[in-house]
Structure 1
């Protein structure tokens, strides 16, 4: 803060004093520098001797400099005065300058006020973490206090064993710095991060235990399965479900040709394609099965890696629908004649029935005439 000039009388109006502090809100015990400037304005008519400069309140003297120097008209000088405050609160200070004309004039006092608001000491460092898709965990150290934190070291530990250490930069008030740990090979998702740092010559520690928010890789699992037996052929229908958190591409499900299991034609494999995270797509496979279990091979690409797994289906434990084998049905003739499932000719039977009815009606007519 810059104060205006205060003069003892009109005769000394040529002397001007200003002051500014390096910090408006210093912390208890923190050094504050005050720049005090004394000016002998041009046209003053003589040289001014500056005897002393003090930094004081009405009750206390903080700093004092003697035999500062002389100022010709138009000249000025600046002195630095450094002090600390041991108690919090507002400090109403004055830059007190004693100066007089070199020709033998009496010394006069010039005052310029400056105010600083001294803060209580607050040492407070905090940790936060984020885990990305590559299972890298970034630890951010933030200075929530009002003094500089230095010699910052962050350690990662699992099951009370330190896995890694990283150094961070010095962190000023309201500032932060981050370091990254490779946590993809940690056997547990629970990690304790500890930061050690120095403030005002003392060593401090802050600890935070977190559960890593890992990205779950896409994974295909066959669900909603339904088995249908049609003669010797077994049809398996279901859903290729992505139970992971990333998309899966080029999904192919197939039944391998093994002992007791043989795919039916081209129905032994089914290309599903892409399946988004937490989504599914349907499939259908057909094979001749002579066992209670059927291995289904699942191949797909996830995060640029090709994955091949096998899921074995217990067809005996799944509710099945059994249908008759397909029969060759005769084609309809041009005049619409058809054969029923019994194999008996339909048209001759109808003609016979009509003939019997006609003969019966003729007999009844002849009987009535007699």
Structure 2
């Protein structure tokens, strides 16, 4: 055989091999199927899913027109070889196919590793004669490296029965935007308010935040799953999920009240709501009752766990200095109403001004200067304190300084004052001082006597000359008597 003919024969043989290989490549998978029930087509969306993403496999099952009778579809499954128990999804009791009819079945699948993978669509059923039939159809999928938006979650440990927020952040790190965004939060043993949220689009390098209110129903380690479904720039519909550990504690409710009398200002008590439990205390209404006083009401929106909130209740219509006060706080924890009570004895001494440290000195002008302090010995503030010299027969005020306006004096505090007066030293040893002030809107007036010790004056001591004259007379009398006795003796 010539070289040309050998080359032609070799080329022909090579062409035959290629033809046979091509025939083997395109041989439809229905060759291994039942003669009456076949899978005519199987597609997957997206066409190139990312590793770890969930995608859909949709198969068309047909009972051929020449079949002997109906075919009952008991189960359709998709298997990922090497995927273990989690690599198989199925649907059961799908109905009956009459001869010449078809049905479509969609199932989800996930492949964790990138590369080419062959999945199997399996159909299980039986004919009218009761013969079991199994049909297998391979589906080849190219799985690419995952490039998808990221999901992150931020939340505190949960408490059974107590609602708390779970914040989800969707971050699109792709070079293109995504659209038709759908975010879902799921979990076992939890109640989720509005578990599904939607958005029109999320641009490249952009973030979106979603807050879900979650109420656990069982203590222990639970799982929360966040699912993001979106359409990418190629038009493919994609899904990605993240699962988070969610620790849930049993409910601990412990609410206490601290009540203290407010010093200064108008009569009042401070009520501190102490939340020693592990759930929020909400919608707190604080009231007070007493047989000797009237208390106002206060509201607190929320007290977080291991935290406090303080409010002020005004006390009016006081009928006693130390009234018994009962304070109640009605509140809500984990959707249920409760009440805490505390009874204390208040101490309310109305503001009262005492004039203390009074000193009286003589001035060079002949008037008297009075200095001292206006001291508030009560537990409430006083206002408009004024100290003045009250005029009398032998005492009168002198300007400037006839009256001194002190102003407000806080509880247990004091303020200084200075007054000027004219005193008739021969007839007066006290100076009347009048103090006026307001307590709870009522005017009070009282008078204090300041002791006045007049200085020594000639008028008070008397003249020195009459005393000298008396002494001279006495001396002359004594001398005369002495001379008279001597003469008689001589």
TM-score by length of 1: 0.51
- Contact 2:185–2:225, Cα closer than 8 Å, also in 1: yes
Instruction: Show the 5 A alignment for 1:48-63.
Output: 55=186, 62=190
Match of 2:42 in 1: none
1:136 aligns with 2:267: yes
Indicate the structure (1 or 2) with the bigger Cα radius of gyration: 2
Following superposition, the deviation at residue 309 of structure 1 comes to 6.0
Following superposition, the deviation at residue 29 of structure 1 comes to 1.7
Q: Secondary structure at the match of 1:338?
A: helix
Match of 1:9 in 2: 113
Match of 1:30 in 2: 162
Distance 1:53 1:207 in 2: 46
Change (3 A) 1:340 1:39: closer
Match of 1:205 in 2: 340
Match of 1:331 in 2: 465
- Contact 1:6–1:17, Cα closer than 8 Å, also in 2: no
- Contact 2:163–2:214, Cα closer than 8 Å, also in 1: yes
- Work out which of the residue numbers 388, 403, 408 in structure 2 matches 1:250: 388
Distance 1:202 1:47 in 2: 44
Distance 1:241 1:48 in 2: 78
Alignment gaps of 5+ in structure 1: 222-239, 255-262, 289-295, 312-325, 364-370
Match of 2:436 in 1: 302
Following superposition, the deviation at residue 93 of structure 1 comes to 3.9
Match of 2:303 in 1: 172
CA RMSD across the alignment: 6.2
Instruction: Show the 5 A alignment for 1:48-197.
Output: 55=186, 62=190, 82-86=213-217, 91=221, 93=223, 95=225, 97=227, 110-113=241-244, 118=249, 120-145=251-276, 146-158=279-291, 163-173=294-304, 174=307, 176-183=309-316, 185-197=318-330
Match of 1:368 in 2: none
- Contact 1:195–1:206, Cα closer than 8 Å, also in 2: yes
- Work out which of the residue numbers 349, 356, 368 in structure 2 matches 1:214: 349
Match of 2:22 in 1: none
- Contact 1:41–1:73, Cα closer than 8 Å, also in 2: no
- Contact 1:157–1:163, Cα closer than 8 Å, also in 2: yes
Distance 1:140 1:153 in 2: 8
Where relative contact order (Cα < 8 A, 6+ residues apart) is larger, the structure is 1
Change (3 A) 1:84 1:252: same
Distance 1:81 1:243 in 2: 59
Match of 2:364 in 1: none
Distance 1:9 1:48 in 2: 27
Distance 1:194 1:126 in 2: 8
TM-score by length of 2: 0.41
Following superposition, the deviation at residue 301 of structure 1 comes to 1.3
Q: Count residues in correspondence.
A: 289
Distance 1:346 1:144 in 2: 100
